[in-house]
Amino acid sequence: MNLRLLASIPEDGYAIVRDVDSIFLLRPPYDRASRIALLPNDVRDAVTKHGFIAENVDFASYAEIIEHLEMQIARSREESGIPQETPLIDALALAPPEIIREFLRRTEHELIPKRQWDHAEDILVNTLAARNEDEFRRTALDLREKLRMARQGFQRWQPPDARFKTRESESCKTISQLIKQFHRIFEPVT
């Protein structure tokens, strides 16, 4: 794959990339949905007026470009003294109600079913600490209970393939012991 990084805004991790004959703007989270098709003239505008820095560096894959951008973000933010991260509680305290509702919905329907329990716990604990609204407290407490039960249930329960493997290995052990005993009993006398 022949990719050329044409320009970037280091602190934001934005990049303009030429992929064969097409030009794209890449922005975090760097998924396909966040890619925007650009025209060649947009590169000129981006560099000369909108704070992009011309790059012209070739990369073998999108993964390599993203790794480069991630390093640039860390380095440039350290140099300019703007934060690279912030406590979750600060953001949750400022979030509009519909955003909190959406975070709780995603915690219930995405994080807990996918067993991303630490992440779920983080969202719930910080929501309880940041918000006083009854609606959010009630939902967050309910979800914490659901999370606790899911965690406990998982610890008691082992996936079927794990149980099978355990039994299989125990069986193998038993068979190998029997063979050893057989050899011991019927060992030819020399």
Partner 1 sequence: MLNLVALAEANGSRWEATFRDLSGRHTALAEFAQWVQESSRISLNCGWSTVTHLLKGDCLKNHHELAREKAERDGSNPDDHLRASLKEFYQRRVAFDHAFENGEAFRYGALNGGCVGLENYGPLCLVLGMEKQESLEASACLLPGDSLFLCTNATEDFDESRTTDLVGAFRQRAIYVSTNRFEAIAMSQKAEWLRVLLNSDNRKDGCVEVIFVGTVTIKDLEAVRLSQAAHDAAWNAVFAAHAPDARISTKATAADLTAFFTAVRHKALPMEIIL
Write down the least CB distance from residue 90 to partner 1, Å.
Answer: 5
Binding flag, residue 116, partner 1 (CB under 8 A)? yes
C-alpha–C-alpha distance, residues 102 and 124, integer Å: 12
Applying CB under 8 A, the span of 8-16, 146-154, 156-164, 167-175 interacting with partner 1 comes to 8-16
Write down the least CB distance from residue 16 to partner 1, Å.
Answer: 9
Helix ranges (DSSP H) in 17-133:
40-49, 62-80, 88-94, 97-106, 117-130
The site for partner 1, by CB under 8 A, has a size of 56
Q: Which of residues 46-75 bind partner 1 (CB under 8 A)?
A: 46-56, 66, 69-70, 73-74
Contacts of 73 by beta carbon, 8 Å cutoff, 6+ apart: 10, 11, 12, 13, 84
C-alpha–C-alpha distance, residues 137 and 43, integer Å: 48
C-alpha–C-alpha distance, residues 99 and 45, integer Å: 34
Contacts with partner 1 by CB under 8 A lie at: 9, 11-14, 25, 27-30, 34, 36, 38-39, 41-42, 44-56, 66, 69-70, 73-74, 77, 80-86, 88, 90-91, 94-95, 99, 102-103, 106, 116, 118-119, 122-123
